[in-house]
Structure 1
Amino acid sequence: MERSWTQPVGVGVVTALVGFTSSFAVVLAGLQAVGADTAQAASGLAVLCVLQGAGTIWLSQRHRTPLTLAWSTPGAALLVAAAGLQIGWSAAVGAFVVTGALLAITGLWPWLGRTVARIPAPLAQAMLAGVLLTLCLQPITALTVSPLLVAPVIVVWLGLQRLAPRWSTPAAFLLALALIVGDAVLSGQGVTLLAPVVSLTVPTVTWTAVVGIAIPLYVVTMASQNVPGVAVMSAAGYAVPWRESLLLTGLGTMAGAGAGAHAVNLAAISAALPASAEAHPDPRRRWIASTTAGVTYLLLAPLAATLTALVAGAPPGVIESVAGLALLGTLAACLAAATADPGERLPAVAAFLVAASGVSALGIGAAFWALLAGLAVRTVLRPRDPRAAEKPRSGRHARV
């Protein structure tokens, strides 16, 4: 009886801790890139923890299924790439509201979900890879700025990638945090525990923010989080309440946008642990793990202000290096998926290059133009003969 509780509870705590420590730096970087100050970024991080924690508890308890919610890490990386737009924090918040509305509408209107699904997966993955590239280069550039602090972080991450991959990024973050605290103490600044704050911003909806942030954020969240999240749960033998999940995450994103929450969605990679036999041998008891993960996220929310202040005062490149290391696996997976099909390779490369360039035009960021460029190249290169399009060539499919 004891094991029936302790095993899933332990797995749930691990799920939340790994999910939080491995990507919260990306979230802070993304929010600050689109105009949030330290207090607003801390508010966004705290509210995201509350939203995904409460939503996870609700879905797990209601369906007795190990459903887990998460913030959109790829979406946060996309925000980093949108820094050049300089649209202002209020417009960014407006884009978050629109993103939440699109997620909720997808739950009510299946046509919208099918439309997103028709975007060729290699192009979506290539766009995300281009967005991630800038962040993943940070450990390299940071070595030239703060080598004594960054080098140990990279060494620990690389060593644990071989010995215990799941803990590589959390361990790298904890080491970086220890180094930051030590640097603050030695410099006489010290470390102060800060009370959690919620900083509200009135959203402003502008077409540049909608096209440059909201639509790419929605596409990335659907393609890289919600759809894979359903696939992970299906592989584990669980059905996902699709409409309810999208309504919950979409409305939750809209409610939290004013406080800085950019997007809440189904967990993808982190969803596998609570849904596995590692959580409990009995599939009917694994919901305890996801419920525990939700509770743990609620307990982590009050730490957001303190962690944000530490990140803000960190030596240059240290936290950015952790964020880049955390996303290397995602970058590798995106590049592999984008170039796996020879027939889609050139369009994917075009999308990748445009996204990685960071260029903006007409006030619209590179992610949107990357999709258009990939689709344009794909349209030009597709065979004109319908009979040729029906014949698979090197794994290529006529319909996507």
Structure 2
Amino acid sequence: MPGPSNHLPTRESDPAAAATGRDPLLERPAQRPAGIRDVIRDLGAPFASNGVIGLIFSASGPIAVTLAVGAAGGLSQAQMASWVCGIFLSAGLATIVMSLIYRQPLGFAWSIPGTVLLGPSLQHLSFAEVVGAFFTTGVLVLALAATGVVRRIMAGIPMPIVMAMVAAVFLRFGTDIVSSTQANPVVAGPMVLVFILLAAIPALGRWIPPVLGTLIAGIIAVAASGQFALDPAGGPIVATPVFTAPEFTWAAQLELVVPLAITVLIVQNGQGVAVLRSASHRPPVNAFAMASGGFSILNACFGAVSACVTGPTNALLTSSGHKHRQYTAALVYGFLSLVFALFAPMLTRFMLATPEAFVLALGGIAMLRALQQAFVTAFATKFTMGALVTFVVTISGLDLFNIHAAFWGIVIGYGVSRLLERKDHAPEESTGSSC
């Protein structure tokens, strides 16, 4: 039996929108928010495992990037712990609230490209100046969401072009499977074999989801090989938030605010929206932007980078199971994020003690279906030249004005498509269908 519809009301089906002739600022959910009974009924092993893997993914590689940038920028241990606490607190709260309201797997995290671009800035700006830019970015994202411009921009970009950007960003997860297996076959090899076995034999796959089996195989391999290297020095267990008083200087504002805002709204949220749409969900684009702005301000209070919706996290949350039950995977991810926020110092040390091959292989295997869907959507029908240019520019790592290559991939790919694929755009303009 098909699950409940996740389609958001259109102007024609929404009386309030039809009466005003305008779309509502915040998209209305198609059904009532999920209650406790709904969650208990819809939660199952595949969704719980997807949520756990989403948390493992966020708490490993992205945390390593965050800690590396913070250490290089001269941040204290207390400041970095506060940063980690803030990003997981906002991710958990935003994910749980939005997923319950819309009954969709709406996973929030933080901007990794935004974190990376902070590296050079922390070499010549004080951390207080960077925090000032965090606050301004949150206000700017909130203001742009209030105008509705974000939704109009996302509606005007054809899905194949956006998915080509997603394919380029996700490609490294696929290649990570190969590199991790070659670098550490003792850990990654059994994970790949178990995944293939469970995926190839449906009877086994119904008993234990392939990705969950991969996770279990990886844990056993890490333990059996003695590669779990926990730092004996120890440290604090519970996070203690640190408030850094912001300084609003023109140098920091001009250098960081616009790149951070573009990264949140177009690069990161754009990936999340595209992934969710390819999984047959109808994500609330403007509500995403509003939540990203509000929770970015919360993050700034912890001295943390902007909040956003991310492609990889949502790809993991939607990797298996019935569509109408996938929101429970996001709830598991959100709850675990709150736990991680509370015990950020201890859990960060724990996650970083696992071998890199375990994280790379698990993330890559879990992302395979999303990567496949991204390529199919990008190159199967129309806008293929624009999609190809988007893919090439994004994967090239082009970096102009401190703005991530994914943004330039969409801009250049869309421009080439408008110039060379005019016939493909004509039906889009006449029917109003787009990304």
> Considering the TM-score relative to the shorter chain, is it more than 0.5?
yes
Counterpart of 1:352? 391
Quick one: which of 241, 251, 255 aligns to 2:298?
A: 255
C-alpha contact (below 8 Å) 1:185/1:191 kept by paired residues: no
Closer, same or farther: CA 33–187 of 1 in aligned 2, 3 Å: closer
Tell me the alpha carbon deviations over residues 317-360 of structure 1, each in whole angstroms, 9 at most, x when there is no partner.
33233333333322222222211223x11111111111112233
1:366 to 2:400 alignment = no
- Structure 2 length normalisation: TM-score? 0.66
Quick one: which of 157, 168, 190 aligns to 1:119?
A: 157
Counterpart of 2:350? 310
Equivalence map 1:266-305=2 (5 Å): 270=317, 294-295=334-335, 297-305=337-345
C-alpha contact (below 8 Å) 2:176/2:361 kept by paired residues: yes
Q: 2: distance between equivalents of 1:145 and 1:291?
A: 34
C-alpha contact (below 8 Å) 1:60/1:67 kept by paired residues: yes
SS at match of 2:63: helix
Closer, same or farther: CA 300–316 of 1 in aligned 2, 3 Å: closer
Amino acid at match of 1:320: L
Equivalence map 1:138-157=2 (5 Å): 138-157=176-195
Identical residues among aligned pairs (%): 20
Q: 2: distance between equivalents of 1:247 and 1:392?
A: 31
Which segment is superposed worse, 83-92 or 248-257? Answer: 83-92
Coordinate RMSD, CA, aligned: 4.8
Counterpart of 1:282? none
Equivalence map 1:45-60=2 (5 Å): 45-56=84-95, 58=97
Counterpart of 1:105? 143
C-alpha contact (below 8 Å) 2:165/2:390 kept by paired residues: yes
Closer, same or farther: CA 109–35 of 1 in aligned 2, 3 Å: same
Counterpart of 1:71? 108
Q: 1: distance between equivalents of 2:132 and 2:208?
A: 35
Structure 2, unpaired ranges of 5+ = 1-35
Equivalence map 1:86-97=2 (5 Å): 86-88=120-122, 97=135
Give, in angstroms, the shift of residue 94 of structure 1.
6.7
Equivalence map 1:183-332=2 (5 Å): 195-197=237-239, 198=241, 205-210=252-257, 212-226=259-273, 246-257=289-300, 258-260=302-304, 262-265=306-309, 270=317, 294-295=334-335, 297-332=337-372
Give, in angstroms, the shift of residue 195 of structure 1.
1.1
Q: 1: distance between equivalents of 2:183 and 2:221?
A: 15
1:381 to 2:420 alignment = yes
Closer, same or farther: CA 193–390 of 1 in aligned 2, 3 Å: closer
Closer, same or farther: CA 376–107 of 1 in aligned 2, 3 Å: closer
Tell me the alpha carbon deviations over residues 15-74 of structure 1, each in whole angstroms, 9 at most, x when there is no partner.
64354235443532553575567956665554344324334555577x6x636542248x
Structure 1, unpaired ranges of 5+ = 280-285
Q: 1: distance between equivalents of 2:70 and 2:81?
A: 13
Tell me the alpha carbon deviations over residues 146-170 of structure 1, each in whole angstroms, 9 at most, x when there is no partner.
2222222322333344525994445
- Structure 1 length normalisation: TM-score? 0.70
Closer, same or farther: CA 60–243 of 1 in aligned 2, 3 Å: same
Which segment is superposed worse, 173-182 or 147-156? Answer: 173-182
Q: 2: distance between equivalents of 1:217 and 1:250?
A: 9
Closer, same or farther: CA 299–161 of 1 in aligned 2, 3 Å: farther
